[in-house]
Each structure stands twice: as C-alpha cells, then as structure tokens.
Amino acid sequence: MKRAAFLDRDGVINRDVGYVHRWDEFEFLAGVFDAMRRLRAAGYHLVIVTNQSGLARGLFDEAQYGELTGRMLDELARQGIAVEAVYHCPHHPAGTVERWAMDCDCRKPAPGMILRAAAEHGLSLADSFMVGDKLSDIGAARAAGVGRAFLVRSENPECPGDDKVAADGVFASLADCVDALGRA
C-alpha cells in the first residue's frame, strides 16, 4: 500500500482569497513547489482534498473549477510535481444551487474525500498524513484514520493557536511542515 500526503488547497498550496476560481487570482504560496517535490522524493503520493462550497453557493461553476484545477496541475507538472489526484466537495447545506445544497459525507470535516482517495488509489491511511489550514481538515483526517494531521497557519486569520488544536503539529506554512518532517 502507498502512503500519501493529503493536502488542502486554499491556504496550503495557494493564497486563500476566498472562493478562488479564476487563474488570475490563484497564487502559489512561497515554498510550495519545493515542499511538494520533497514530499514526492520521500515517497509520498500527493492527493489534494478541497472543500469548494463556491459551487453550491453559485459563485462559480464546474467548468470554472475544472479549468482552474487543470491550470494548477499543469503548473505543478511544469515544476516537476506529480499529483496523484484532486478531490473536491461541491456541497454546502446552505447552498443556492439545488443539486449541491446538502449535507454530504465528503465536506470536511467528514472523511469522504480521503476515504474515496484511499480506496481508489490503494493508500495506507495509517502511513499517511494530512496538511490543512482549518480544524475541519484535521477533523477529516482524524475521522478517516489518517496517521498524522498537521495544521499550517499560512495567512489564515481563523487558524487557532497551538494550544487550541488537536493537530500533531502547527506550522507557519507547508514548507515549514515539510522541513520539520524531514528532521523527524
């Protein structure tokens, strides 16, 4: 079985400016390319798991989400980074788009995206870890049985301090998290 680094997107890979859905507003965070390359070199399969409630809220559509995701993956490939898969949850119970306005098993902190990725790609959850910028990311990892879960502050003002988190570690960025893992 393979081990994975499950990564949230907004706030971990790119700057979270709220409902990012156009390439001109997508900005990779400092150190992300090197951190992701190092994870791949250490034998981790990269899986992005992202809540995208902007779909349920009618702020953007599937075509816009797909175009942005494709461009992100193209840039990562140009940087020498292979991503195993990207999973997204379009749902939100307060959504305005009827087909996505619901509770589901994939919106973090529910574990659905992680469990689906593990089943579809033969991933060992116990040997994997999650990096997110919100407690819902940590909750999804715990609910799925992921071995470790780390929180990054990036630029998220909602991210709690070290003393309020049930994470295995809190870091300033994905790059800092990967640095710490490399020393462990």
Q: How far is CA 125 from the centre of its chain?
A: 15
Q: How far apart are CA 167 and CA 45, in angstroms?
A: 21
Judge whether 107 and 92 are in contact, CB under 8 Å: yes
Q: Hey, how many other C-beta atoms are within 10 angstroms of the C-beta on 61?
A: 14
Contacts of residue 49, Cβ cutoff 8 Å, sequence gap at least 6: 6, 7, 8, 87, 88, 108, 113, 114, 117, 130, 140
Which sign does the torsion angle of CA 126, 131, 132, 135 carry? positive
Altogether, the residues listed in the chain come to a count of 184
Which of 154, 153, 117, 10 lies closest to 68 in space, CA to CA?
10
**Catalytic residue list contains 10:** yes
Judge whether 76 and 70 are in contact, CB under 8 Å: no
Catalytic residue among 8, 16, 133, 176: 8
**Catalytic residue list contains 74:** no
Q: Could you list the active site residues?
A: 8, 10
